[in-house]
Chains A and B, each alone.
Chain A
Amino acid sequence: MNGLSKAENNLFGGIIGSGSLHLQLNRRQKTLIVIGISSTLLIAIMIAAQLMSNQAIATNFSQQNLAPSWAHPFGTDWLGRDMFTRTIKGLSISIQIGLLASSVSVVIALVLGMCAATMGKKVDAAISWLVDLFMGVPHLVALVLIAVVFGGGAKGVIIGVALTHWPSLTRVIRAEVMQVRTSQYVQISRHLGRSRLWIATKHILPHLLPQFFVGLILIFPHAILHEAAITFLGFGLSPHSPAIGVILSESMGYLAAGMWWLAFFPGLSLLIIVRAFDVIGDNLRTLLDPHSAHE
C-alpha cells in the first residue's frame, strides 16, 4: 500500500480524490508524444546538418555582420558566414560526440557496476573507491587534465568526456544489480545450480537493459554540455570546426560591438538540444518504470 500512497501525496489540497480518469488516460499518450517530438527534433538536426551545403559557412564579405533576418535567421558573423548553418552543423557535431562519449561511459558503468555487485566485497570496495576518486576532482578540471594529456583536439575531448561520465551511473547499476541478485527468481536459479555467468546473462542483463538505454540518454546532456564547455575554454575541437563552443568563444570578441546574435542563438539551440535529451530520458524512464518517476 505504501507504494501507492507514496506515488502521489498531496498534503494541502482536497485530501480525498483528484485527477479524473479521462486525464489519467492521456498520460501514456502524452509521454509518447513528448518522446516523439523530441526525437524528431534531434534527428531533423542530424539530417539537416548533412544536407546543408558548406557554401553558407564559407567566407563571404558581402554578407558581413548581418543581424537576424529571414535569409539568415541567426544572422551572419564578421566573415559573412551564416550562423544558422554553423549552429546546426555545430549541434550535429555535439550530438555525435555526445553519442560516442556517452556510449563508452555507459559501457564502462555497466561493466564496473556489474563487477561491483557480483564479484564480492573486495571488488565492490575497490570500485566504489574508484568512483569516489573520479568524483573527487572537479569534473571540469578532470576534463582539462585529460584533454591536455591526450594532446587536445577532438581526440582529447572525446576521451575526456568518455572517461569521466561513468561514476554516477555505475552506482545506479550496482544498486540495481544488487537488488535483482537478492530477488527470488535469481535465488531459485542459484539453488538450481545455474552458473554465475548464466544468471548474469539470463536474469541480470535483461533487467539492466532499460537502465542501460535510459542511462545512455541521460548521460548525453552532460556529455554535450561538457564538450561545449571544454571547447569554449580552448581545449577541444579546433577553431576551424563549426562547434558551439568555438562559436561562443569567438563571439566574445564581438559582443562589445553589439552583435548579440552571435552568442544568443547558438547557445539557446544548445540548451534546447540538451533539454530535448533530458526530456526523452525522463519520459522513457517513466514509461519503463512508473514508480521511478519523481512525481
Chain B
Amino acid sequence: MNSYNNIKNTQNNQPGYLDKGLSQPLSAPKDELLLVEDLSVAFVQYQKGLKQRNLEVICDLDVSVKSGEIVAVVGSSGSGKSLLAHAILGILPSNAKVSGTISYNGEALTVERQKLLRGNQISLIPQSVNYLDPLMRVGQQVQNTIKTKDAKAVQEQLFKRYHLSEAAGVLYPFQLSGGMARRVLVATAVSGGARLIIADEPTPGLHPEVVAETLSHLKELASQGCGVMMITHDIEAAMKIADRIAVFYAGTTLELAPIEDFKDRGEALRHPYTKALWMALPENDFKPIPGFQPTPADLPSGCLFEPRCQLRTAECSADRPEMRDLRGGKVRCIHAT
C-alpha cells in the first residue's frame, strides 16, 4: 500500500491531471479491481457578498474493491458520499478540484479512460427515479445505454430478467412505482455488461421487500464476478450483503474492515467511530454518538473524529492520522490497536 504514496499526485486545477506523472501503469495487485488512494474533492463556493471559500468535501479518501466483492461505503446522509461515485466515474461538476489517484484494473483511471469505461465497464446505479429523463419512455432510456446492435432485444431481455413487464417499457419515469423504478435503474446499469458497479444509495427509504430485492440484485451481480461498491447510509442493509465495509466520516474513510469484525460488542473493530456506530444500532445499545459530524466548512485541524472521540489525546489534534494496515483491515487512528 505504502509503495504508492510516493507517486501520489496532487496537481490541482488541471483537467486531465490524472494523466500526468501516472503514464506508466501502476503495479497494483491484480485482484484489486478499483483502487482509490488519497482522493480529495474540493469546491469553490461563494457566499453572500461573493466572499469565496474552498470547501474540501472529500479529503484523503482510500477505498478498494476486488472482483466479486461487495464493499459498502457507509456514512451518514449528506456527507458527500455521492461525490465519491461521481469522482470515480469522472462526472463531477467542472468547478470541482480533484487530487489523488484512482486506478481501475491495475491502470490509472485517467479522464480519457473514464470516458471510455463509464457506461460499459464501470456503471452507476443512481439514487432515485430523478436520474431518468422525465420526458423519455423508460424502455427507450435503457436502450440508449446499450451499444450493441439490437438494443431493443437486449432491453426486452433485461426487463424479463428484472421482472419488468413489457408494458413497463412505454411508461414515463413519473409513472413508475418505487420498486419498478429501482429495477429499471439496475437494468440500465447492467445493460453494458459492467465489471464494476457503483450503487449510490440503492435503498433510500424503500419498502423492506424492495430493499431485499435490490440487495439480492447486487449480491447476484457480485456472484457473477462484478465488483460492487455500495454507497449507503443504511448500515444494516450494508451488513446484509457486504464483504467489507468502509466507514465514511466527514469526507474521508476512517476504517476499512471485513464484515466478520462487525459482531458482538465491536471488539474486533479498529476505529473508535466505527465501534460507536456499531454500538448505536438498535439491536446493540441504541445509544447515539454525542456531538455532530463537522461540516466541510469547518473541519478540525487534526483527526476528523477528534472532537467527539472518547480516546482523544493532545496528539490527535496535531495532525491528520495516516491510513495504516491493522489486523487485516485499515484504520486512520493513532490509538487503534
Contact = CB atoms under 8 A, between A and B. Distances in A.
A–B proximity contact (CB within 8 A) = yes
A121 to B, nearest CB: 27
B294 interface: no
Contacts of B17: 16-17
Given A1-B57, A27-B52, A16 B47 contact: no
A31 B82 CA distance: 33
B97 interface: yes
Interface residues of A, number: 27
A1 B87 CA distance: 13
Interface string A1-32: 10011111110011111111100110110010
Contact of B49 (A6, A18, A28): A28
Contacts of A132: none
B50 A287 contact: yes
Contacts of B51: 28
B98 interface: yes
Taking each of B14, B46, B52, which has the highest tally of chain A beta carbons within 10 Å of its own beta carbon? B46
Contacts of A20: 13
A28 B80 CA distance: 27
A271 interface: no
Taking each of A4, A6, A24, which has the highest tally of chain B beta carbons within 10 Å of its own beta carbon? A4
Contact of A15 (B15, B46, B55, B78): B15
A51 to B, nearest CB: 35
A168 interface: no
A286 interface: yes
Nearest to B86: A5
Main secondary structure of the interface of B (DSSP, over half): mixed
B52 A25 contact: yes
B16 interface: yes
A290 B45 CA distance: 9
A1 B83 contact: yes
B15 A24 contact: no
Given A17-B97, A17-B98, A4 B45 contact: yes
A4 B94 CA distance: 10
Interface string A194-228: 00000000000000000000000000000000000
Contacts of A16: 15-18, 90, 92, 94, 96-98, 111
Interface in B28-72: 43-52, 54-55, 57
Contacts of B95: 4, 7-8, 18-19
Taking each of A1, A31, A289, which has the highest tally of chain B beta carbons within 10 Å of its own beta carbon? A1
A14 B18 CA distance: 11
A15 B94 contact: yes
A54 B267 CA distance: 93
A288 B83 CA distance: 28
Taking each of B48, B55, B82, which has the highest tally of chain A beta carbons within 10 Å of its own beta carbon? B48
Nearest to B45: A4
A287 B15 contact: no
B92 A1 contact: no
B54 A21 contact: yes
Contact of B93 (A5, A25, A31): A5
B244 to A, nearest CB: 25
Nearest to B83: A1
B47 to A, nearest CB: 7
A21 B47 CA distance: 15
B12 interface: yes
A21 B12 CA distance: 10
A21 B16 CA distance: 18
Interface string B91-105: 111111110000000
A9 B50 contact: no
Contact of A24 (B52, B93, B98): B52
Nearest to A291: B46
Contact of A17 (B12, B47, B83): B12
Given A1-B57, A1-B80, A4-B93, A19 B50 contact: no
Contacts of A286: 50
Nearest to A283: B50
A286 B48 CA distance: 8
A7 B96 CA distance: 11
A13 B44 contact: no
A17 B15 contact: yes
Taking each of B92, B95, B98, B111, which has the highest tally of chain A beta carbons within 10 Å of its own beta carbon? B95
A220 B52 CA distance: 30
20 contacts: A1-B83, A4-B43, A4-B45, A4-B95, A5-B92, A10-B94, A15-B91, A15-B94, A15-B114, A16-B96, A16-B97, A17-B14, A17-B17, A17-B94, A17-B97, A18-B95, A21-B44, A24-B44, A27-B50, A287-B48
4 smallest beta-carbon distances between A and B, as pairs:
A14-B15, A10-B94, A290-B46, A28-B50
